Structure 1
Amino acid sequence: MRVTIHFIVNPISGKGKNELSPDLVSRYFPKSNYSTCIKKTEYAGHAIALTKTSIEEGAKIIVACGGDGTISEVASCLLNTSVVLGILPMGSGNGLASNLKIPKNKKKGLNIIKNQNITSIDTGSINGSPFFSNSGVGFDAHVISDYEENKARQLFSYVQSSFRTLKNYHYNNVVELTYDGTTEFISPFLLFVSNSNEMGYKMSLTPRASLQDGLLDLIIVPQLSYFKLLFFTILFLFKKHHWLKEVKFRQVKSLLIKSDDNTILKAQKDGESFILKGSRIEISIRPENLKVCIP
């Protein structure tokens, strides 16, 4: 019986002009043993529609070929199913792929999919919407918002957005933060929740996070002076942000964030802006509900 594998390609992920040659695919997946199909996305959210159609068409493995946004769209359709996620990283940051040790080299990536070494990983949920790498409220969400306005999607653009946001960032909202039976009121610079140990570009706020521990890693950074904010940003770029004594790390299964004055907070998930419909944010872990091909 032939294995049905579908490839969802985002042509404009990362630096753009992404291609997946049918000849290359057939070299690894000959028609005698496999049924393959390559689909290209044409607009934001198109990967979701294509993935749902591929599931209806009987695909057993659906390969997301793009960046974290494309992977997130495809993976969101595969939760709690027997359909396996494959990844060919073609984006700029490629945080989830890097965490899973999946290389950018297409041939090596196709070989990983062919070997079908399958594991189950945890996923996160923010107000019912799934995320796979991380989600956050505060500074990181503002950085993402600025970054999305840039046409050049590369590390230098991200650094530029970080310093530009740092210069203009004024956050005085008080939030009620509840986790593990603890409630505290803080004015946060950053509330960052991570399922994986990498954000992309080899950068990490939560280096000890695991995709298979049934926990989310929470980092809490309170409102700081401008000097300490600058210091925190520099430490983060060198993976030394834990040196700042004000920074707190927690591992949780769920948390609740509520704006004290009902302000709608700015949030991000998996490196893209996430539009909230209210001032209440519920974030939780969903253990081992996604099957994925790994090396």
Structure 2
Amino acid sequence: MPSHQSPGVEAARKAIAARLREARLDAGLKGHELAARCGWHKSKVSRIETARTPPTDSDVRTWCEECGVRDQAADIIAASRTADSMYLEWKRLQRTGLRRLQQSRIPLYQRTRLVRGYASHVVPGLFQTPAYASALLSAISRFHGTPDDTHEAVAARMARSGVLHEAGHRFTLLLEESVLRYQIGDTETMAGQLDHLLMVMSLPAVSLGVIPLTAREREMWTLEAFNIFDDNRVHVELLSAQVTLTAPSEVSLYVRAFTELRKLAVYGAEARELVSAARETVC
């Protein structure tokens, strides 16, 4: 395994190796027995299980077939394909500033038909005003010590938001009510952002739900922010990194979490009342 891999990538590779090893053990096979069944050199199983050699798609299919867990192959292949990019530290993504990161995401939003998102700390990027985005991105740049290209990054983020007005897309997003209360930037910035949210809620392609602070009998706890792109991909935002998930089982887990969180939200007039109430407290 290359020594320059990030801890997250290394952990992802080891997790894949561990899943394959567990499948072999559950099948009651020794390493050399599995190698013989697969028609491989006997050392190949050991190299894969110790994460020294990443398995190919064909290796995974053959392994799962011989271990009687064919249904697990798709998940393991998806995880293996994205292991090098599933956990990307912000310091790597932002090493030349924030503009390129913002621009790189535009094609993903343009080809996605249904974007589902959950925000627990800040207003989603698609719904941000230039002033709010500028305050937020400049704070992120300072915290991570990246080159300050906030102006260019904000322009790229606003360009990405243009997808809200393009045909063929739907956006279903959830906000914790606390997001409306966390002040990003000065008073004028926050007031403008809340006014903009009220406008965005009227767009035909947008469904915006707000989870009230008073939501009772909550069966889903507050989670990290995430976005689901169709049913193919999930981005999870951590303090240190962006995690990309494509394994069907992991994507479906976030879809299920989103479904549960959506039950807690209010929409339409009730949601607008919560935004308006937050707006009144700003000034």
Calculate the TM-score normalised by the size of structure 1.
0.27
Calculate the TM-score normalised by the size of structure 2.
0.28
Between structures 1 and 2, the one with greater strand share: 1
Between structures 1 and 2, the one with greater helix share: 2
